[in-house]
Amino acid sequence: MDKTLDTYLSLCTEVYELSKPNPPEDAYAFYRDYAVKVNGPILEPMCGTGRFLLPLLEEGFDVHGFDASDHMLGVLHAKAKPKNLKPVVWKGFVEDLNRPEKYNLIFIPSGSFCLIIDPVQVKKSLQVIYDHLSDDGIFLFEAETMQAVPQQGV
């Protein structure tokens, strides 16, 4: 991999894990509901420390994931080990996804997709996600809009 990630290094990963060790209950229920309905392979790009991926895996869902941060993936593996989970995860950037699998559900929770800020990379990421969806596959992601930006003087 020629690219490097300059964020989500060791300290940032520790802070992330301390502040967000588990998924919010409502968000987890939302994604879990889709996981049940699609009845097939699931992919979580930008899976980070596994706060969504690992509980789904524990419940028996066929879920894979990847992240560009070695530190995040290290925490994911450390959390999986005492639970005897063997997650199928790898290091990678969304725009570089190139796997033979097709997924019935691809989801990116918690606004992580908004970390991709270059318009060319956004377009490329959306295309590769589309290319990895099964014919009836579903892509879910959270994003913030300009409505989330605080207004001056309000």
Whether 46 maps to a domain, the answer reads yes
Position 2 in a domain: no
pLDDT tens, position by position, 103-124: 999 999 987 767 767 889 889 9
Q: What is the pLDDT of residue 1?
A: 46
In a domain, 92, yes or no: yes
Judge if pTM exceeds 0.75.
yes
In sign, the C-alpha dihedral spanning 101, 47, 113, 96 is: negative
Tally of structural domains, the chain? 1
Taking phi first (over 0 means left), then psi (-120 to 50 degrees means alpha), and beta for anything else, what does residue 125 get?
Answer: alpha
Q: Is 37 helix (H, G, I), strand (E, B) or coil?
A: helix
Domain of 114?
21-142
How large is the C-alpha radius of gyration of the chain? 16
Q: Does 9 map to a domain?
A: no
Residue spans of alpha helices (H) in 20-150: 25-38, 53-58, 70-80, 119-131
> Domain for residue 39, yes or no?
yes
Is residue 15 assigned to a domain? no
Residue 64 in contact with residue 89, Cβ under 8 Å? yes
Q: What is the pLDDT tens value at each position of the chain, 154 positions in all? A: 455 555 555 656 666 666 676 889 999 999 999 999 998 999 999 999 999 999 999 999 999 999 999 989 999 999 999 999 999 999 999 899 999 999 999 999 987 767 767 889 889 999 999 999 999 999 999 877 777 677 776 5
Q: Is residue 13 included in any domain, yes or no?
A: no
DSSP 94-128: GGG---S--EEEEEE-TTGGGG---HHHHHHHHHH
CATH of the domain at 116: 3.40.50.150
**Residue 15 CB burial class (10 angstroms; 0-12, 13-18, ≥19):** exposed
Apex CA 99: angle with CA 94 and CA 105, to 5°? 70
